[in-house]
Chains A and B, each alone.
Chain A
């Protein structure tokens, strides 16, 4: 269907992969110039390819209708009565069971229930003679149905796993959802690669090559994650980015503390990944019952069509979605597994910008958006899974946002801020505003990258991460100051910047969800939590800028060097991302005018054909009329702006307007304020609690049992050494027979012959 461009799909993944291989294998022996050229070129080329695909999709949308799959329904002929229709449909379905190019879905809900059989198959399906004959035999007709598949590029490398009726293809799909993430990954990725060439410039050659090799590998893995056409391919990328994250957090592996941070991230992510695997099994089991003997696959399209809104295996689907979301809390650092992300700041700052802010941590949002039809209908003991998602998101957003206020380490502030913003995204996802969540994802990728890269420049210049030893940097590094200020304002949701609109869109969705008929009151709480988080965000954003850039420089000490401005390779990405931060607002300008359809914002509208719940607020919440929608939109914007401005003002009052010498006042406060500060600085003591309740007992008992008894004694000493010992004893035993005396050898021969003849005689003669 897309003859030429499909070749770009594997190429986009292959190029960063080859870059990683090249630098990993030869980088040590080559100069830094070659290493950085290769490393920077890889995401740039991938970005151009992704752009080509984007325009290709765009052209396809406006060209003749092209679709690789078609959907038809089998329904009753007009002149026949529908009494035995379900039975006839069932018979037809059973007969079609022999064809594995078809996917059969009964209509489960709605007026068509038991009236039609929906078939998904190749494009020629509508004209398929065999199908027509079959339908005719059962007094049915074949009718075309609305295409279930929005246009997409599809590249199938071939069957990967085929066991029984379970079949997984090695397939890649690029549609509107993945293309947006691909552009972010390669685009922001390229800028961060460029930035890194200077940031890591002082490293020795081997380390330098290793760094870029990992970074390119990350880009490749992340692309696999968003381009994978089924859950299993996604999981390859999911694990790949986890591994790269681990390698890069513990990049400075000679520092035991940093290596431990990497391990922590890895272990926590592993706990979440278990959820993904189990979730996959649940969905597969649900699919197996739904399709009743047909081909099983983990293809997203198949899963969404078959399980979306299905009430057949509600328990399995609900459990599966909840487990998948548990995996998302690991990868996207949500309560209860958020604790690894602040520690992930041990990695080099560009890594934090790329992996732990812009791309990898958003994988959870992508996963839920990708499978939104299933998530939308999933329930666990009567509680909608998306409600749980929103609740977790809202709580994470609030508590992490508060914790960010207590941090002195500039990267920790940004880390908690990232956790908090990801919470926003999950709140949006949970409120069925997938488009809003993706919009916030994109905007956040820009402004958080700019903040991290700016922080990197600051750290590079001052050789410290503590904001107490900064201050007054406005005069030394103006470019960094201005770009970071824009980023911080966007983060704070300052009116007319991208963060303002994206946050507003999420809050609006939450409010509408609360207004929907039969909605739980908790949605109002979530809305208020979101609003409160907006205020907190504004406070810590201002504090960040204030402590870093305003006042006098407190670092250096006697004879200390003055901080230097960022070099050009670091300044350029800052500048570009600053512009993008402002420009991203255009992607989601609210539909304010009365003539605009609700959900007509650019990005959600763009995603609507792919992500079922991207923008159709009215469909989701029929209680809200279009007029009411506009009123909420305007009101929400005003309230959001007020929260943000109020927060900035508070921040300005506390950290901006004081005399420079007084900036250290935080450590001198006493009484209740001090204890609050302690709680926030320790992020609600969650780490300590987990450590005491889970990690230490696990180390004490479980690990002692598994390591000392099971592994050391049973496996190592028993099985491994034991096997060896038995084999060696056996060997020494065989040597006993090898005396060298021919007569004895002949005796063995005779004994053997006699035994054989005797046994043959015994059983045979």
Chain B
């Protein structure tokens, strides 16, 4: 049947529902968690919630690996989804975030002595886990969405859940403020995204990315398509927190409770980047990224400048931060910048440069680099936030880096994992972050963007300062009484300790000897994206 006929877009196999399973499981478990919370009652130990959501994530990961990884990226479900290994890797990165962050806050509802619970400060109730899982469902859908409507629904599913999560600590003003700001600006960007999509539909007559990629737009419709494509790009650049659309990031990250900040910094970014690469593939192939300028579409030059601004802005901003969440916010912006380098390399294939074959290689490298980078980034951020969550107790927020002073003396294991994860974020060899950066920057060099790569390298050299400063504070300062860093390890908090351990071990493992299965999945994912 002709794929473009109206009828074909409504037909699908029953077997296609298999591919929906990884999206459905988190939603299902979100509901289970909410119900379970009612049975557990107020003030009780909420560890079962963490375990239940962890189980859900595990099942999802298995399902994603089993069902998405072998798929070729051909559209299913009436063209709304295109499952592939690309989506599987992104899903793994997202699930790493959800699971580890969920585990690391498992004990937040318990007071230190296990008796009284201050509900105002307690966040680890059913809503938290429910919203985490609903957002995860939306993120997973985003990584394989093949239809712009599906894509938009997915992005809103996750966004609304995350707006609510930001304000989950409802008695704290900063939390509510952050949620409000995030919501207003998020709605703003959603308008750009939606408007761009409708313009593009007007120009091309399709919402499907795979069809879009094969559409030859009439020259008279090209301006509309280009404006539409650019608006979509702007909406997505907001989601990943690229300069100058990044202003919400520090405020939202600081306002939200650490648990939510950790989740946001991983899940939202991974899903947004995965979706962005998929959409850009469609935009670029149909020419909606603009006309050729020196061999590449204008869109890739725009991204070039955005990437340059983002690596500089993110790293410069992080230098003088004292609040760990704000620092991680800027660090996240900086990582957005590095990943935009990969996106620039990725978009070079759409131009008509004389070096087309090499540009395809570079695009392949960029997509593979992106996936590995996302895994490394998810692990490292999960480790950092797991440690922060582990340290936070009733009344003992980690609001200043000084609170971490002397952590290496009181909790050597947590401090070690934190140090490893920070080094991974800085891209020190021996950690997953190094391989991720290497891969991404290699793609940048292959696509001829040496200047941008050099800039990113210099910026990441600057980043060493603020990452290492935390290590210095942890290892070379004496613990200060009354701070989180001064309290010793609590053996009862095994859930969060497990999360910390897993993040540390995997960061080193992926950095020193990445297993072949993962590498194969990453390369398959890139293959599915770049034909």
Contact = CB atoms under 8 A, between A and B. Distances in A.
Interface of A: 723-724, 727-728, 730-735, 737-738, 740, 742, 744-746, 748-749, 751-753, 756-757, 759-761, 763-765
Contact of B251 (A740, A756, A757): A740
Given A749-B245, A757-B227, 18 more contacts: A727-B462, A733-B316, A735-B317, A737-B247, A738-B317, A742-B181, A746-B184, A756-B233, A757-B234, A759-B301, A760-B290, A760-B298, A763-B290, A763-B293, A763-B298, A764-B226, A765-B227, A765-B291
Contacts of A723: 462
A305 to B, nearest CB: 40
B118 to A, nearest CB: 27
Given A728-B319, A763-B290, A738 B298 contact: no
B483 to A, nearest CB: 25
A324 to B, nearest CB: 35
Interface stretch (B69-77, B137-145, B185-193, B491-499): B185-193
A764 B248 CA distance: 30
A201 B247 CA distance: 68
A733, A740, A756, most chain B CB atoms within 10 A: A756
A742 B244 contact: no
Interface in B212-240: 222-223, 226-227, 230-231, 233-234, 238
A734 B313 contact: yes
Given A728-B320, A731-B319, A764 B290 contact: yes
A764 B290 CA distance: 5
B320 A751 contact: no
Contacts of A763: 290-291, 293, 298, 301
A639 B133 CA distance: 100
Contact of A734 (B192, B238, B316): B316
A760 B226 contact: yes
B324 interface: no
B312 interface: yes
B319 A756 contact: no
B181 A745 contact: yes
B175 to A, nearest CB: 14
Nearest to B226: A764
Contacts of B297: 764
B302 interface: yes
B250 interface: yes
Nearest to B287: A764
Nearest to B316: A730
Contacts of B320: 728, 731-732, 735
B455 to A, nearest CB: 13
B230 A756 contact: yes
Contact of B189 (A731, A734, A749): A749
30 contacts: A723-B462, A727-B319, A727-B462, A728-B319, A730-B312, A730-B316, A731-B319, A731-B320, A733-B316, A734-B316, A737-B247, A742-B180, A746-B184, A746-B185, A748-B247, A751-B244, A753-B231, A756-B230, A756-B234, A756-B306, A757-B234, A759-B298, A759-B301, A760-B299, A760-B302, A761-B227, A763-B301, A764-B226, A765-B222, A765-B223
A765 B226 contact: yes
A748 B251 CA distance: 15
Nearest to B315: A727
Interface string B244-260: 11011011000000000
A746 B251 contact: no
Contacts of A745: 181, 185, 247-248, 251
A746 B234 CA distance: 13
A752 B298 contact: no
Nearest to B297: A764
Nearest to A757: B230
A733 to B, nearest CB: 7
Contact of A760 (B185, B230, B462): B230
Nearest to A750: B188
Contact of B234 (A737, A742, A753, A764): A753
Contacts of B247: 737-738, 744-745, 748-749
Contacts, number: 98
A588 B174 CA distance: 91
B79 to A, nearest CB: 28
A250 B439 CA distance: 45
Contacts of A735: 317, 320
Interface of B: 180-181, 184-185, 188-189, 192, 222-223, 226-227, 230-231, 233-234, 238, 244-245, 247-248, 250-251, 290-291, 293, 297-299, 301-302, 306, 312-313, 315-320, 462, 465
A752 B316 contact: no
Contacts of A727: 315-316, 319, 462, 465
Contact of A764 (B291, B313, B462): B291
A763 B185 CA distance: 29
A725 B251 CA distance: 25
Given A737-B247, A763-B293, A764-B290, A756 B302 contact: yes
A162 B375 CA distance: 32
A745 B238 CA distance: 11
Contacts of B244: 748-749, 751-752
A748 B302 contact: no
A757 B234 CA distance: 9
Given A728-B320, A731-B317, A745-B181, A752 B226 contact: no
B188 A746 contact: yes
Contact of A731 (B226, B290, B316): B316
B408 to A, nearest CB: 21
Contacts of B306: 756
A140 to B, nearest CB: 42
A749 B238 contact: yes
Contacts of A738: 247, 250-251, 317
A305 B316 CA distance: 58
A632 B248 CA distance: 96
B388 to A, nearest CB: 21
Contacts of A752: 234, 244-245
Nearest to A747: B247
B315 to A, nearest CB: 8
Given A730-B312, A749-B244, A759 B317 contact: no
A742 B250 contact: no
A742 B185 contact: yes
B340 to A, nearest CB: 13
Top 4 nearest A-B pairs by Cβ distance?
A764-B290, A752-B244, A745-B247, A730-B316
A137 B222 CA distance: 64
B150 to A, nearest CB: 25
Nearest to B185: A745
Nearest to B320: A731
A388 to B, nearest CB: 46
A724 B291 CA distance: 40
A738 B317 CA distance: 10
Contacts of B226: 760, 764-765
Contacts of A744: 247
Contacts of B184: 742, 746
A650 to B, nearest CB: 66
Nearest to A745: B247
Nearest to B235: A753
A758 to B, nearest CB: 10
A733 B320 CA distance: 11
Contacts of A730: 312, 316, 319
Contacts of A740: 251
A745 B317 CA distance: 16
Contacts of B298: 759-760, 763-764
Contacts of A724: 465
A754 to B, nearest CB: 10
Contacts of B250: 738
A733 B319 CA distance: 11
B305 to A, nearest CB: 8
A750 B250 CA distance: 19
B410 to A, nearest CB: 26
B379 to A, nearest CB: 27
A433 B315 CA distance: 66
